[in-house]
Structure 1
Amino acid sequence: MGDEENPAALVEHQPSWPRRASRLLSEIRDALAGLTGGETAALDHIGSTAVPGLPAKPFLDLQLRISPLPGEADLCGRLDRLGFVRARGARPDSPGVDRDIPRGSAQADPAVWEKLLFWHEDEHAILHVRRADSPWGLYTIWFRDWLRASPEARHRYETEKRRLSAEQRGKADYDDYTRAKTEFFDQVQSEFETWSSNRP
């Protein structure tokens, strides 16, 4: 799937993505039974595959927001049975593997940025496990919903994604693409935050 010479190759939006995400999130929910915080955990389909009409890398981005953040061994034992394995990143400094990049200065507790990342090879799915009070966890929801609601914002993001994707041809991984997309996120954060605060 995608372009073998470009690790950040994009494909057109697939109608099957939301259905697959819903099925996987349901399976994850069942796997959380008995886990501290599992009953109140939030499970989300995030990222570009969650935005109709938006091209994306063909990997589903899923999110689990839970408090407290589970121990790695306990969570691995539950998710392994579903086919999710702990992801370590392509490089030692791969972004967003054990920790999100802190944003702003409002959060004094550095633990709020900690996370666990899992990968499902057969489903081509990534699971981001964050604390329920993670700012990144909330931003992903606001950003997704803003893109869904605004054709103009979606077009801007698609244009940027296509430009950045083209620059990744011949690279070994898509870490540079991920970092570059974060710069776009920085540019528009005030827009989607304002939009989110004003919606009913």
Structure 2
Amino acid sequence: MGTFVKIVPYNADWPRLYFETRDRLEALLGDIAEGIEHVGSTAVPGLAAKPYIDMDVVLKHSTQMEDGRARMQAAGLEPRGSRHGDGVFAFMLRDPLPGLRVYLCPPNSLTHQNRLRFRDILRQNPSIANHYATLKMALAEKYKNDCDAYTRAKSDFIRETLNTDTSPASAP
């Protein structure tokens, strides 16, 4: 049996938890990190999400990945590997909820850039965010015991959204 999928209503504490965690990650990785961003659904005000704060840490140099991984493990985060072959390495802290997922990203990571674009599109377009929330709730019910299938099932919507330039900043 896979991992249980649970979507919870937006929690106004998520931004504060991001900033607190960012400060800890800066202390842990600051000399090798170019930047730390809040990504994923918890980064979109009002959006229901799985109760995990998703964060991307962009490294200054790809040669620092092993050092970053060692520091993350030493800090107690569970290594989850590089699941998409894109050089991004995932870590997780499951308890207490909300949990934490941190992704170490090489410089110029397309995965990281797409996460920022998708986050910003959802922040700027409430109708798209609402549609995404509805989709996530339906998929969470359909794949309630398979988090990987749930994530795969969202990918068409995410890809479509990224390929449709809907952000006000890009309008003529």
Whether TM exceeds 0.5 here: the answer is yes
Find the counterpart in structure 2 of residue 114 from structure 1.
87
Indicate whether 1:71 and 2:65 are aligned. Answer: yes
Cα deviation digits, residues 20-53 of structure 1 (max 9, x gap): 1111111111112443xx3xx1100100011111
State how far apart, in whole Å, the 2-side matches of 1:42 and 1:82 are: 19
State how far apart, in whole Å, the 2-side matches of 1:71 and 1:6 are: 27
State how far apart, in whole Å, the 2-side matches of 1:51 and 1:138 are: 16
Indicate whether 1:32 and 2:4 are aligned. Answer: no
| Distance change in 2, residues 1:16/1:199 (3 Å) | farther
Structure 2 unpaired stretches of 5+? none
State how far apart, in whole Å, the 1-side matches of 2:3 and 2:105 are: 29
Provide the alpha-carbon RMSD of the alignment: 2.3
Indicate whether 1:134 and 2:131 are aligned. Answer: no
Give the match's secondary structure for 2:27.
helix
Q: Which letter maps to 1:132?
A: P
If each structure's strand is expressed as a fraction of its own residues, which one has the higher value?
A: 2
Find the counterpart in structure 2 of residue 99 from structure 1.
84
Q: Which letter maps to 2:116?
A: I
Find the counterpart in structure 1 of residue 44 from structure 2.
51
Residue from 12, 17, 29 that aligns with 2:9: 12
Contact 1:76 1:85 in 2 (8 A): no
State how far apart, in whole Å, the 1-side matches of 2:15 and 2:166 are: 27
Q: Which letter maps to 1:195?
A: S
State how far apart, in whole Å, the 2-side matches of 1:76 and 1:128 are: 10
Q: How many residues align?
A: 168
Q: Normalized against structure 1, the TM-score is what?
A: 0.75
Residue from 150, 156, 162 that aligns with 1:183: 156
Q: Which letter maps to 1:20?
A: L
Aligned structure 1 segments of 4 or more residues deviating by more than 6 angstroms: none
State how far apart, in whole Å, the 1-side matches of 2:171 and 2:21 are: 29
Structure 1 unpaired stretches of 5+? 89-96, 101-112
Q: Normalized against structure 2, the TM-score is what?
A: 0.86
Quick one: percent identity of the two aligned structures? 27
Give the match's secondary structure for 2:167.
helix
